[in-house]
Structure 1
Amino acid sequence: MRLLPNVILLLVLLALWESLHLAVGPSAMASPWATAARLASLLAQADTWRHIGATASAFAWSLLLACVGGVALGMLLGLNAMAGNVAEPILMNLYALPKVTLYPLVLLCFGLGLGSKVAFGVMHGLIPILLFTMNALRHLPPVYMRSARSLRLAPWQTAWHILLPAIAGEVLAGIRLGFALTLLGVLIGEMFASQKGLGYLAMTAMGAGDIATLLAIALLLTCFAVTGNALLLRVGRHLEHP
């Protein structure tokens, strides 16, 4: 019964997809069944797995750096009220800035390849994690810091044993948002600064007018993103109700 709403939503989306396919024709929109068949065909090719491996490697490094950097900087700014007040509007403006405008600078600094993809992924995912962590600390009851001072804990002990467990739910919410945005950043980086990866494969299919391949890659990425988000949501619920 818990899965019933998800099943209904999936069936509705498939029906809308099929209706759009019938309305515009196969040259503009492949059917769900043709897309699934094309995805199965792609996954049977060794070259596709090399592209998947390149994207997975860049995404893993990007997400790791975004999480570590976002949580660390968020804690530093959250514990310093003046620094947090100064940094918050700057970070919000940077978050609203279209990252594509910074693409030439990223290429100049990191060149073509893994470095630019990771940098672009971190640029997309770090700020949401930082903001969620910083705001969670700023709204934390003062009793946590008083407890740390009474126990005479070192700063790293306070952060690890007191603060992080107290704001774990908010940090994980930021990581959920950063997860999707980091993946988006890596894919955009692959579209313009790489000859490997699913973003490059999608760009190639787009240039060739291969709609079935393009939708198959989109379906694969959607499945990965939904699965990752569901796992993070499950972990978040476990933290709230252990």
Structure 2
Amino acid sequence: MNNTSDMKPQTLYVFLALALAGAWQALHWMIGGDALASPAQAVTTLVALMQTGDFWSHTLETAKALIYALAIGLVGGLAAGLLLGVNRLARDVAEPILLNVYAIPKVTLYPLVLLVFGLGLSAKVAFGVMHGIIPIMVFTMNAIRQMRPVLLRAGQSMRLTRRQSILHIVLPAILPEIAVGLRLAFSLTLLGVLIGEMFASQRGLGFLLTNAMNLGDMRTIMAVALLLTTFALGCNAGLMRLGRRLSPR
């Protein structure tokens, strides 16, 4: 007799999507259309929004901020994590500090970010980087800690420089862990960019959500939320597949 473990991942995803849509529809019936739009209403509204140029300009603004924030967070977090991770003392000192700094509620830093960067794209990118860079640093340092010591000793025996050891030994060895960290950093960076748009911008999907909430436009709220959820899940699935391909067999 077949069970869920015998199902293909695609089949499980379809069942999960149908279950979520059913729960959403049931909740819509329970609390009414004024409080929650139905899945059909959200899809219809999203299709209508996609036929307007203003919606795509908001989407492009969010995509631009997300790409910049991810690039800065990935490059900066990876570089800092590698430099700290290869030095045991620096790693042991930096890791608890980074975790404590990341635990600070970031809403308390928003006024400072707005004061430094002002309203616009730079503030949204800063919000995204704030959310995503430290997880990448921590994942990178932990990945280096879990490396087999024989790899670094092999590099020392071949008299590799620090730069050569990082590029040819450390970085290839920790790529699977970095892929896992990137999944988390992507979700957090997207969250940071959207919050930045809600607080510090007049463009983007986050601003569109805030404007819809002020107007009580529940259909637009659910349509944008559906788009963002689908996009985030799709990117997460792609990064998960990338991590599996990078994992050692």
SS in 1 for 2:35: coil
Q: Which residue of 2 aligns with 1:189?
A: 196
TM-score norm. by structure 2 comes to 0.95
Displacement after TM superposition at 1:241 (Å): 5.3
SS in 2 for 1:167: helix
SS in 1 for 2:36: coil
Name the amino acid aligned to 1:123: M
Provide structure 2 residue ranges, at least 5 long, that are not aligned to the other structure. 1-6
Distance 1:227 1:82 in 2: 39
TM-score norm. by structure 1 comes to 0.97
Picking from 72, 93, 100, the partner of 1:65 is 72
Would you identify which runs of 4 or more consecutive aligned residues in structure 1 move more than 3 Å? none
Picking from 116, 129, 139, the partner of 2:123 is 116
Give CA-to-partner distance per residue, 1:154-205, whole Å, 9 cap, x none: 3222211111110111111111100000000000000010010000000000
Name the amino acid aligned to 1:182: T
Picking from 156, 161, 168, the partner of 1:154 is 161
Picking from 229, 242, 249, the partner of 1:235 is 242
Displacement after TM superposition at 1:151 (Å): 2.4
Distance 1:227 1:7 in 2: 13
Q: Which residue of 2 aligns with 1:174?
A: 181
**% identical equivalent positions:** 55
Name the amino acid aligned to 2:70: L
Distance 1:7 1:241 in 2: 29
Q: Which residue of 1 aligns with 2:151?
A: 144
Give CA-to-partner distance per residue, 1:66-124, whole Å, 9 cap, x none: 11111111111111111111111111112211111100010111111111101110000
SS in 2 for 1:173: helix
Name the amino acid aligned to 2:38: S
Distance 1:181 1:19 in 2: 30
Distance 2:164 2:202 in 1: 44
Q: Which residue of 1 aligns with 2:102?
A: 95
Distance 2:123 2:239 in 1: 27
Q: Which residue of 2 aligns with 1:212?
A: 219
Displacement after TM superposition at 1:7 (Å): 1.3
Q: Which residue of 1 aligns with 2:48?
A: 41
Provide structure 1 residue ranges, at least 5 long, that are not aligned to the other structure. none
Name the amino acid aligned to 2:235: G
Name the amino acid aligned to 2:242: V
Distance 2:133 2:214 in 1: 31
Distance 2:164 2:235 in 1: 30
| Cα root mean square deviation, aligned | 1.1
Give CA-to-partner distance per residue, 1:43-87, whole Å, 9 cap, x none: 111100000000000000000011111111111111111111111
Distance 1:59 1:221 in 2: 12
Q: Which residue of 2 aligns with 1:202?
A: 209
Name the amino acid aligned to 2:45: R
Name the amino acid aligned to 1:5: L
